[in-house]
Amino acid sequence: MVSKFESDIQSKKYEMNGEFTIENAKKDIENYPEKLKSQLTNITKASDGWLAYDSQFYDEMFKKISEELKRL
């Protein structure tokens, strides 16, 4: 669970630095899990897709932290 969350933090960091955009995320969509593909149509920030997808693996503490991370 911690490694998933660490990856989500990295995606947010890259996004904030302009290195990971929704446009870039959608270019690689064929490589994503099916559940994430459907979520990409409803998000405006690339990292939010991964945060939403990975939240299924989180316990309550990580879900709360994940919600705060989305607000950045």
Q: What is the pLDDT of residue 18?
A: 92
Q: What is the pTM of this model?
A: 0.71
Task: Give residue 33's pLDDT.
Answer: 79
pLDDT of residue 14: 93
**The tokens of 53 are what?**
């997808």
> Range of 36's domain?
2-70
Count of the separate structural domains present in the chain? 1
Q: Is 1 a residue whose pLDDT tops 70?
A: no
Q: Which of 9-13, 27-31, 45-49 has the highest average model confidence (pLDDT)?
A: 9-13
pLDDT of residue 72: 84
Cβ neighbourhood burial of 12 (10 Å; 0-12, 13-18, 19+): buried
